[in-house]
Structure 1
C-alpha cells in the first residue's frame, strides 16, 4: 500500500517551508555533513586507526554503505514531507510511531557536546591572532577546555546557531550555508596546497594514502566500528538530518544526483583535511596517532609554532573548523526544531529557543570535564546513530521497498533492475555491516565505561 505524501495537505503546505533553490538544499546537506565530523573528528580517527588503513575502510563504507543509506533517508523525507518522528509515524504506522523519537535524542546528544567542542574552536580561532597557543598548545588546551572559558564559548556558539535556525529555512539556514560551505572548500584547498610545500609532505602522504591491509586485518574489531561510525557521522546518516532536509524539497528532484553530490563533496572535504593536517604533523615530527578529541588542539596547534606562517595557517584552519561546526550544528538543531513545529504546532522561534536551551544545559558537563566528550561522542556516533540507521534501513528496504523505489523514480524515471539492486544492497550488506558495527560499538562503549569513565567517577 502506498504512502500518500503529507505535502498534499494544503493546510500543512501553508506553513511548511521549502528550499529556495536546489543549490540551497545541496549546500545545506553538505554543510550538515561537512562539519566537525570532517575537520575535528576525522583526523584523530585516522590517526588512531593507523592512517591509510582507516582511510581505506572509511572510503569503502562511504561508497558502499553511506550512499545507499542516504538514498533511504532522502526518499523517506520527501515521501512524507515530515521530520523523522512524523515520517516514521506516517510511513511505518503501528509501533514505528514511537521510534522517531530516537532521532531527536541522537541530534540532541550530538549538538550538546558539539557546541562545547565548537567553543574550543572559536577560542583557538581568536587566539590565533595573539599566538596564545603557539609553543604551549598542551598547557593552553588544558586551560581553556574546561571551566569558565569553555562555558563562555559554548554559550557564544549556541546563541549564534539558535539565531540562524530561528530565522527559518530560507532566510536563516539556506543563506548561512551558501556563505559557509564555499568558504570552507576554498580555504581548505589553499591550506592543502600549502601542506604540499612542507618538508614532511612525502612521509605524510605515504602514511595517509598507502593502504596497509595487514593493519586492517589485525585491528578490524577497532577499525570497523570506528570507520562505520565516522562514515555515518560525517554524512549525517542515521541522525534524521537528511530525512528532515529532504522533507523541504519538491517531487521532481533527482535524488541520486543530490545524494551523489552530497557524498562527493563531503568526502572531498574529509580527504582534503587529511592533506592539510598530516603534512604539518610529519614536518615537525609529531605522532599522528596521538589519541583523543583534543588531537587538533594539542598536536596540530603545537606543530603550528614550528612551521612557516604558523599563526596565519592556524587562523585559517580554525576559521574553517568554526564554519564547519556551525553548518553542522544548524542541521542538527533543525531536526529537533522541525519535530516541535510539525508535531507540536510550536512556532519556529519558540521551538528553536527551547531546543537550544535544553542542548546548552546538557552540554555543561562537557565543559566541566573532557571525559564527557567521549561519553557523549561514542554513545552518539557508534551506538545511537548506527541503531537509528538500522531502523531506517529495515523500515524502508524490508517493509516498504516499493514505495521507496517509487519515490526515487519520481525525479529519475523507471529504474528497472537498479531499483531492486539498491533495495537488496540495503537489505543485506548495509544491514550486516551496521549490525556488526553496533555490536562492536556497544562492546567498546562498555569498556570505556568500565575503564576511563569509571576512573573519572571513582578516582
Structure 2
C-alpha cells in the first residue's frame, strides 16, 4: 500500500479545513437560503445551529479521524466496531453525491467570470443564466471545473491540497472584505443590511418548522459535516495539535465569510430593487439578481470579475476536500497511484453530475435530498457512534494536545450525546416531512 501522507504544517491543516468549509455553502447557498427562508430569521437559526450543533459535531469528526489515522470508512474498523462502517460509507456517499452537482455550479461560476469580463449578462441576466445553467455547454463547464479539482487532488496532500489552500483561503477573506466595503457605498446597502440582520420574531415563530431543517442543513453544509471531510482531513493531523482551537478557528472564519457574503449580496439586490423573498429563489441570489446588480452599478464588470473570482476560489477549495474523501478511502485500500484514483473517481463524478448539468430541476432535487436527508442522517449516526459507543476514547483523543480543556471536553461529550442527537434527530424528521410528506412537496422544481 502507498505510504499515508500527512500535513506539512498545522497551519496547512487549519487552512485546508477552513477552505473546505468556506465554499459555495457560504457564497452560493447561504444568500439564497437566507432569502427564501425568512431573511434574518434564518440567520438566527443558522448561527444557533453552528454553535450548538455544528461545532460539537465537527470536534466529533476531528477526534475520530485523528484517533484512527484512517479514512472515514476504515476509521470505524480501527476503533474496533466494524459493523459501524456503514456510517462511514454513508458519509463518503454523501460527499460524492454533493460533489456531483457542486461541480455543475462550479462550471456556472467559470462562465460568469467570463460573462463579467465581456458584459454578456448585463442586458438580460435571466436569459444568460438560462443559457449557461443547463445543456451541453453546462456539461462542458462542469468537466472543466472538475478537471481542475482532479489535478489538485492528484498532486497529494502537501503538494496539492495544502499548497493550494494556503493561497485560496487568505484570498477569499481579503477579497470578500474588499467587496463588502465597496457594497457599503451602494444606495441599497441600508435596506439590504436590515433584511439580512434584523430578524422578525413573528416570522421565526410561525415558520420555525420549515426554516430549521434548512438552517441546520446549512450549518452542516458550510462546516463540511456529514460528508466525511473532517474525518479525512483530521486523519492526517499530529496528536499534539489542539483540535478544539483548530475547530474554533474553522467555525469562526467560516461564519465570518458567510456573514460577509450576506453583506455583499443583499445590498446589491436591494440596490436594483429585487424582491429578495421571491426573485432570489434557487440560484438566483447569486447568479441572476446579483448579475443584474453588477450590470447596473459603476465598475460592474470589474467587481463582477472579482466577486465571481472569489466564488470560484471558494468552490475549488471545497470541491478538492470532497474529492479527497473518496480518494483517501481508495488510496488506503487499493495499491493504485493517487493520480489514477483521482482521475477514475473524477470520471464517475462527471457521469453522476450530467443530469444536474442538463436540467436544473435535477440539481434542485439532488441539493434538497442532500440537505434534508443525507446530511442530517449521516451526522446523526456519526454523533451516536462517537458520543455513545466510543465516548471516552473520543474524549481522550480530543484532549490530546488540549489538556487544559478537560472541563470543556466533558461538556462537549454530553452535548453531543444529548443536545446534538436530539437536535439532529428533530431536524431529520422535519426534513423528511418537508421533502416527502408535505402534500405540495416539489421534487423537481427548477432553479
Query: Into which bin does the TM-score normalised by the smaller protein fall?
Result: over 0.9
SS across alignment from 1:452: coil
8 Å CA contact 1:31–1:328 kept in 2: the answer is: yes
Which residue of structure 1 aligns with residue 416 of structure 2?
A: 426
Q: 1:246 to 1:204 in 2, by over 3 A?
A: same
SS across alignment from 2:442: helix
Q: CA RMSD in A?
A: 1.6
Distance, in Å, in 2 between the alignment partners of 1:449 and 1:298 is 29
Q: CA deviation at 1:272?
A: 0.4
Q: 1:444 to 1:345 in 2, by over 3 A?
A: farther
Q: CA deviation at 1:286?
A: 0.6
Which residue of structure 2 aligns with residue 384 of structure 1?
A: 374
Which residue of structure 2 aligns with residue 202 of structure 1?
A: 190
Distance, in Å, in 1 between the alignment partners of 2:39 and 2:434 is 20
Tell me whether 1:60 sits opposite 2:48 in the alignment. yes
Which residue of structure 2 aligns with residue 295 of structure 1?
A: 285
Q: CA deviation at 1:240?
A: 0.8
Q: What TM-score do the two structures reach when normalised by structure 1?
A: 0.94
Distance, in Å, in 2 between the alignment partners of 1:454 and 1:190 is 37
Q: CA deviation at 1:454?
A: 6.1
Distance, in Å, in 1 between the alignment partners of 2:300 and 2:390 is 54
Distance, in Å, in 2 between the alignment partners of 1:76 and 1:321 is 31
In the alignment, which of 367, 390, 398 is matched to residue 357 of structure 2? 367
SS across alignment from 2:117: coil
Tell me whether 1:348 sits opposite 2:338 in the alignment. yes
Count residues with an aligned counterpart.
Answer: 444
In the alignment, which of 236, 252, 256 is matched to residue 268 of structure 1? 256
Q: CA deviation at 1:287?
A: 1.3
Gaps of 5+ in 1: 1-11
In the alignment, which of 283, 296, 312 is matched to residue 322 of structure 1? 312
Q: CA deviation at 1:87?
A: 0.6
8 Å CA contact 2:362–2:444 kept in 1: the answer is: no
Which residue of structure 1 aligns with residue 150 of structure 2?
A: 162
Distance, in Å, in 1 between the alignment partners of 2:11 and 2:57 is 21
1:230-280 CA-to-partner distances (Å, cap 9, x unmatched) read 001000011110000000010000001100000000001001000100111
Distance, in Å, in 1 between the alignment partners of 2:441 and 2:239 is 50
SS across alignment from 2:210: helix
Distance, in Å, in 2 between the alignment partners of 1:42 and 1:455 is 19
Which residue of structure 1 aligns with residue 328 of structure 2?
A: 338
Which residue of structure 2 aligns with residue 225 of structure 1?
A: 213
Distance, in Å, in 2 between the alignment partners of 1:438 and 1:154 is 30
Which residue of structure 1 aligns with residue 111 of structure 2?
A: 123
1:36-59 CA-to-partner distances (Å, cap 9, x unmatched) read 000011100000111110001101
Q: 1:444 to 1:92 in 2, by over 3 A?
A: farther
Which residue of structure 2 aligns with residue 51 of structure 1?
A: 39
Distance, in Å, in 2 between the alignment partners of 1:317 and 1:454 is 29
Higher mean C-alpha deviation, range 445-454 or range 419-428: 445-454
Distance, in Å, in 2 between the alignment partners of 1:162 and 1:449 is 41
Q: CA deviation at 1:99?
A: 2.7
